[in-house]
Amino acid sequence: MESNQELISLIDGDIIAYSVGFAAKDEPLSYALHSAKKMVENIQEASGGTERQVFLTGSNNFRKEVATLQEYKGNRKQPKPPHHAEIRDYLVSAQDAIVVDDYEADDALGIIQYNPPEGKDTIICTIDKDLDMIAGKHYCWRGKREGLYGVSQVEADRFFYTQLLTGDSGDNIPGLYKYTSAKATTKVKKPLEYMTDPIEMYEYVRGVYHRNASYGTNFPIEPDDFIEEIGKLLWIQRQPNQMWTSPLLDESSGS
């Protein structure tokens, strides 16, 4: 990146609304809003952004319609933290947060990272590991991945296809173990570490599912349909309205 190039900190506002809400649950609203302000500012400074953009998830998430096997995020039954709605309103009114409908803030981060404004660079700012399927600059402010780091396109693809084996229990997305006797163990995931081609990664993952299905496992739907559904749920968009599908289909269509 050129030293004079502007860098936009793409901030996951959903995380801020929840984190601040729980941290300030016993504090007055004014304290919570001030904490949200400082958190946004600190994230921008730590990530090196010359400007920032905060995103919030709105309504009508397409993933809720895609999910037929299990309710998308149906395992999240705990109530929202105190001040949650007020923090969101503050982020919109005072921090110019953008509320996206029909998809998630994660998708907005992915789309802009792959399609930055002309002459500008971007850095994704979140603690959500799922964003590691998006290539480019990243900043995490908590946990094992804390700090600045980069994700190559190969690393991003490997992350996605590994998730295609494991599912995502946090979002109630099933994986290999849900309907088979085999866990997505380190041994099962290991071969993906040596692959660089998404088609090769897909064919490997598909082979794992089909081998387990052939052992008499009672899949609720055909393995290919299972992979297609959870792939659409896991995939963070890189282009507007993008839905994941098998890269073999993309290749056969010439896209």
Expressed as residue numbers, the domain containing 174 is 153-253
- pLDDT of 255: 39
**Residue 1 included in any domain:** no
The answer to whether residues 12 and 102 belong to one domain is yes
Query: Residue 37 falls within a domain, yes or no?
Result: yes
In a domain, 22, yes or no: yes
Tokens for 232, please give them.
């659409």
Do 168 and 133 lie in one domain? The reply is: no
Per-residue pLDDT of the chain (255 residues; tens, 9 = 90+): 445 689 999 999 999 999 999 999 999 999 999 999 999 999 999 999 999 999 999 988 999 999 999 999 888 878 899 999 999 999 999 999 999 999 999 999 999 999 999 999 999 999 999 999 999 999 999 989 999 999 999 999 999 999 999 999 899 999 887 766 666 788 889 999 999 999 999 999 999 988 887 765 666 778 899 999 999 999 999 999 999 999 887 654 443
- For residue 95, what are the CA distances in angstroms to 7, 11, 54, 120, 193? 17, 11, 7, 20, 40
Q: Which residues of 159-188 are buried (b: 16+ CB within 10 A; e: fewer)?
A: bbbbbbbbbbeebbbbbbbebbeeebeeeb
Look at residues 123, 151, 179 and tell me which one is the last residue of a structural domain. Answer: 151
Residues 146 and 160 in one domain: no
Q: Are strands 51-57 and 98-100 parallel, antiparallel or unpaired?
A: parallel
Last residue of a domain, one of 125, 151, 177: 151
Domain boundary among 100, 127, 151: 151
- Pair 187, 136 in one domain: no
User: Are residues 228 and 128 part of one domain?
Assistant: no
- pLDDT at residue number 106: 97
Q: Are residues 36 and 133 in the same domain?
A: yes
Number of folded domains in the chain?
A: 2
What's the confidence (pLDDT) of residue 215? 65
Going from the C-alpha of 135 to that of each of 19, 24, 113, 247, the distances in angstroms are 25, 33, 8, 18
Token duo for residue 183: 């866990």
Model-wide pTM > 0.85: yes
